[in-house]
């Protein structure tokens, strides 16, 4: 046997041996990842989807899970719990939750108790919210704290950043926290002048370099601005032309936001401080020293409960609050959401309520900006309709609003969609309203929306239905991973 043949055989055996070791290492890694996956508190659909990925296509599923699969970060929970301050409510103490199942379920899951003494104003158009945002930026005396998932380099984004830059030059403490993925292409170029004017800009969990396990998947989806620690604007709108602007825009999405004054705004500022200090590694003492003692002063009569949810809290309080709302409904449950991908518990709860004769109404866009979610929602909508629920489609563009109204007793609004990502993965913020005037005002807004909607019609022809079913099945499998 000549030297060339021996060398070729040696390389062949070496490659085979390396491949064998690589396969064993991959199997061991997959084994531990599956064990970790099964130990996490996940929706069954999410667990099943990841299991299929890791078992059927391990060379794709295992790396993806290492990058995207994390749902709760114990280190983040511990650190942010230590960072989160406790505000004094001497003037307006938290409201007791005894005999109030939804509020009690939320506090038991880790949310702060409801607080009274607030004033709530609805922002039902993008023009209204843009005007309110501009006005409060101009009126702020000490601090402006702003968090958003998307801030675009369009007319709306540049105008807001320009105003923030002006206030920073005037000595107002301006802090802007941007999601590193949602603002990937705008955070550097757009925010440079603000930094030079003395404003501070933080990037939340950047993915280059990776800041922690799962950081590519765990995004801050909260949208809120807090002024002088006592007034807040929050809801579903990002800062971009399609969400808000100074004048009407034909392609603007329908969305929903509010202005909150009072102790609940101080609690939203509390969430911002924890997010900011986590992202920037600043000490909270500096930000806490800026807070005036009168931030908890009563501004109105609204009773609100602020609920932060995501990888930074031990449980899933927002999800559990929604389950409690549905289960406690005596007359009706109305859900307005851009994406409808519930887990089995939420879906069955809605189906049972509808079969029990309660009015269950779902309002979604006829066509959302994510076609895969439209295919994925078809099964859940079919199940709702079969149970007697009403499904309404908003036909005039993208519906991005998020709200749930139970009877005429409780309303929920904020940044969270009715899908697995918002309920189990994203950093989200929600507010539960318990005062009847606020609930009725939100229900009035929903009634006007419903007037513009159309009932979900029958499915299409058999051929198109078969093709649609294939796309639906694939989308349902992928949806828990998105």
Closest C-alpha among 197, 208, 205 to residue 174: 197
d(CA 329, CA 339): 22
Statement: residue 239 has pLDDT above 90 = yes
Statement: residue 249 has pLDDT above 90 = yes
Whether residues 63 and 78 share a domain: the answer is no
d(CA 412, CA 405): 6
Whether residues 276 and 383 share a domain: the answer is no
d(CA 308, CA 321): 11
Note whether residue 292 is domain-resident: yes
d(CA 436, CA 367): 33
Statement: residue 394 has pLDDT above 80 = yes
Q: Please give the pLDDT value at position 30.
A: 52
Note whether residue 85 is domain-resident: yes
Q: Please give the pLDDT value at position 43.
A: 55
Higher pLDDT, 222 or 424: 222
Note whether residue 312 is domain-resident: no
- Looking at 17, 52, 68, the residue that finishes a domain is 68
Structure tokens at 75: 């280190």
Whether residues 15 and 149 share a domain: the answer is no
Q: Please give the pLDDT value at position 151.
A: 96
Percent of the residues in the chain that have a pLDDT greater than 90, as a whole number: 57
For the ranges 28-42, 146-160, 444-458, the lowest mean pLDDT is seen at 28-42
Q: Please give the pLDDT value at position 172.
A: 97
Percent of the residues in the chain that have a pLDDT greater than 70, as a whole number: 73
Note whether residue 213 is domain-resident: yes
Are 138 and 172 in contact, with CB atoms under 8 Å apart? no
Q: Please give the pLDDT value at position 41.
A: 53
Statement: residue 82 has pLDDT above 90 = no
- Looking at 24, 50, 68, the residue that finishes a domain is 68
Note whether residue 102 is domain-resident: yes
Mean pLDDT of the chain: 83
Label residue 181 by pLDDT band (50, 70, 90). confident
Across the range 422-430, mean pLDDT stands at 91
Whether residues 37 and 149 share a domain: the answer is no
Note whether residue 308 is domain-resident: no
Structure tokens at 451: 């007037």
Q: What is the CATH number of the domain that holds 201?
A: 3.30.870.10
For the ranges 99-113, 228-242, 249-263, 453-467, the lowest mean pLDDT is seen at 453-467
Structure tokens at 106: 């939320």
d(CA 413, CA 336): 10
Residue 347 in 3-state DSSP?
A: helix
Whether residues 81 and 204 share a domain: the answer is yes
Label residue 425 by pLDDT band (50, 70, 90). confident
Residue 15 in 3-state DSSP?
A: helix
Across the range 50-60, mean pLDDT stands at 55
Q: Please give the pLDDT value at position 364.
A: 98
- Looking at 68, 86, 101, the residue that finishes a domain is 68
Q: How many domains does the chain have?
A: 3
Statement: residue 166 has pLDDT above 90 = yes
Structure tokens at 430: 């929600």
Q: How far apart are the first and last CA of the chain?
A: 56
Q: Is the pTM higher than 0.85? A: no
Label residue 89 by pLDDT band (50, 70, 90). very low
Whether residues 409 and 452 share a domain: the answer is yes
d(CA 321, CA 319): 5
Are 304 and 111 in contact, with CB atoms under 8 Å apart? no
Whether residues 64 and 79 share a domain: the answer is no
Classify strands 332-336 and 359-365 as parallel, antiparallel or unpaired.
parallel
Are 402 and 418 in contact, with CB atoms under 8 Å apart? yes
Whether residues 291 and 143 share a domain: the answer is yes
Give all strands (DSSP E) within 236-281, no chain letters. 257-261
Whether residues 124 and 252 share a domain: the answer is yes
Higher pLDDT, 8 or 410: 410
d(CA 412, CA 322): 8
pLDDT per residue as tens digits for the range 332-355: 999 999 999 999 999 999 999 999
Q: Please give the pLDDT value at position 173.
A: 97
Q: Which long-range contacts (CB under 8 A, 24 or more apart) does 244-249 make?
A: 244/126, 244/127, 244/129, 244/130, 244/133, 244/156, 245/126, 245/127, 245/130, 245/155, 245/156, 246/127, 246/130, 246/131, 246/134, 246/156, 246/159, 247/127, 248/127, 249/126
Statement: residue 467 has pLDDT above 60 = no
Whether residues 60 and 101 share a domain: the answer is no
Whether residues 387 and 436 share a domain: the answer is yes
Q: Please give the pLDDT value at position 472.
A: 60
Whether residues 284 and 151 share a domain: the answer is yes
Residue 282 in 3-state DSSP?
A: coil
Can you name the residues that pair with 173 across neighbouring β-strands?
A: 143
DSSP 479: G
Note whether residue 307 is domain-resident: no
Note whether residue 224 is domain-resident: yes
Higher pLDDT, 4 or 69: 4
Label residue 189 by pLDDT band (50, 70, 90). confident
Across the range 108-116, mean pLDDT stands at 92
Q: Please give the pLDDT value at position 477.
A: 58
Domain that holds residue 145: 74-302
Label residue 295 by pLDDT band (50, 70, 90). confident
Statement: residue 421 has pLDDT above 80 = yes
Label residue 21 by pLDDT band (50, 70, 90). low
């Amino acid at each position: 046997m000549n030297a060339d043949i021996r060398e070729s055989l040696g390389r062949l055996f070496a490659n085979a041996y390396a491949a064998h070791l690589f396969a064993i290492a991959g199997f061991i890694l997959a084994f531990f990842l599956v064990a970790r996956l099964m130990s996490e508190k996940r929706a069954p659909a999410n667990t099943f989807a990841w299991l299929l990925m890791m078992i059927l296509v391990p060379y794709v599923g295992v790396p993806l899970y290492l990058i995207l699969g994390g749902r709760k970060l114990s280190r983040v929970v511990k650190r942010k719990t230590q960072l989160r301050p406790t505000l004094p409510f001497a003037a307006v103490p938290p409201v007791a939750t005894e005999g109030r199942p939804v509020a009690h379920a939320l506090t038991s899951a880790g949310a702060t108790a409801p607080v009274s003494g607030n004033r709530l104003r609805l922002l039902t158009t993008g023009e209204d919210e843009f005007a309110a945002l501009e006005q409060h930026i101009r009126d702020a005396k000490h601090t402006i704290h702003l968090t958003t998932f998307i801030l675009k380099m369009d007319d709306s984004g540049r105008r807001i950043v320009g105003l923030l830059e002006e206030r920073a030059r005037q000595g107002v403490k301006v802090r802007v926290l941007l999601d590193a993925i949602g603002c990937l292409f705008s955070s550097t170029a757009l925010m440079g002048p603000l930094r030079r004017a003395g404003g501070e800009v933080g990037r939340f969990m950047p993915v280059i370099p990776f800041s922690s396990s799962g950081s590519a998947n765990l995004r801050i989806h909260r949208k809120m601005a807090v002024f002088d620690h006592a007034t807040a604007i929050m809801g579903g709108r990002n800062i971009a032309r399609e969400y808000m602007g100074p004048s009407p825009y034909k392609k603007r999405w329908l969305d929903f936001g509010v202005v909150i004054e009072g102790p609940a705004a101080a609690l939203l500022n509390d969430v911002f401080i924890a997010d900011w200090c986590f992202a920037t590694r600043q000490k909270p003492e500096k930000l806490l020293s800026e807070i005036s003692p009168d931030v908890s002063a009563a501004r109105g009569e609204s009773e609100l409960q602020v609920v932060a949810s995501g990888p930074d809290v031990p449980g899933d309080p927002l999800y559990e609050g929604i389950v409690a709302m549905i289960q406690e409904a005596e007359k009706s449950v109305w859900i307005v959401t851009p994406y409808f991908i519930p887990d089995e518990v939420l879906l069955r709860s809605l189906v049972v309520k509808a079969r029990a004769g309660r009015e269950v109404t779902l309002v979604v866009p006829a066509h959302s900006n994510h076609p895969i979610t439209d295919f994925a929602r078809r099964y859940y909508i079919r199940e709702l309709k079969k149970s007697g629920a009403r499904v309404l489609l908003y036909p005039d563009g993208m519906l991005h609003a998020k709200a749930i109204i139970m009877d005429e007793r409780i309303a929920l609004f904020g940044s969270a969609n009715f899908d697995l990502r918002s309920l189990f993965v994203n950093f989200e913020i929600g507010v539960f309203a318990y005062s009847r005037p606020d609930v009725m005002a939100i229900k009035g807004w929903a009634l006007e929306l419903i007037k513009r909607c159309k009932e979900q019609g029958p499915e299409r022809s058999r051929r198109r239905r078969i093709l649609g079913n294939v796309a639906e099945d694939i989308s349902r499998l992928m949806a828990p991973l998105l």
